[in-house]
Amino acid sequence: MTATPNKQFKNICVLSGFNYGKYKEFVEAAINLGRSIAIRKLHLVYGGRDRGLSKLVSKAAYIKGAKC
């Protein structure tokens, strides 16, 4: 499978844990991912409930203006 350099995707799906876990780096990474999704003007599709790392990604993306 080869990537086509001129094609860009518009949607991204994020599946993550329901809990924050014991590592603050996971929390920071989830927030940074959400912000990056918004900056790139991607539409976020996330699985799971509105909890844990999934919630952090979606909240950070939404605050920065992404469609969730």
Which domain does 33 fall in, by range?
11-63
- Report how far apart, in Å, the C-alpha atoms of 11 and of each of 19, 26, 39, 44 are: 24, 22, 13, 6
Q: Tell me the average confidence (pLDDT) per consecutive run of 10 residues in the chain, 68 residues long.
A: 68 84 89 96 84 90 88
Assigned domain for 21 exists? yes
Assigned domain for 4 exists? no
| Count of alpha carbons within 13 angstroms of residue 28, beta-carbon side | 4
Assigned domain for 2 exists? no
Three-state DSSP class for residue 41: coil
The continuous run of DSSP H or E covering 14 comes out as strand 11-14
Q: What pLDDT is attached to residue 63?
A: 94
d(CA 40, CA 50): 23
Assigned domain for 3 exists? no
Q: What pLDDT is attached to residue 4?
A: 58
Domain count, the chain: 1
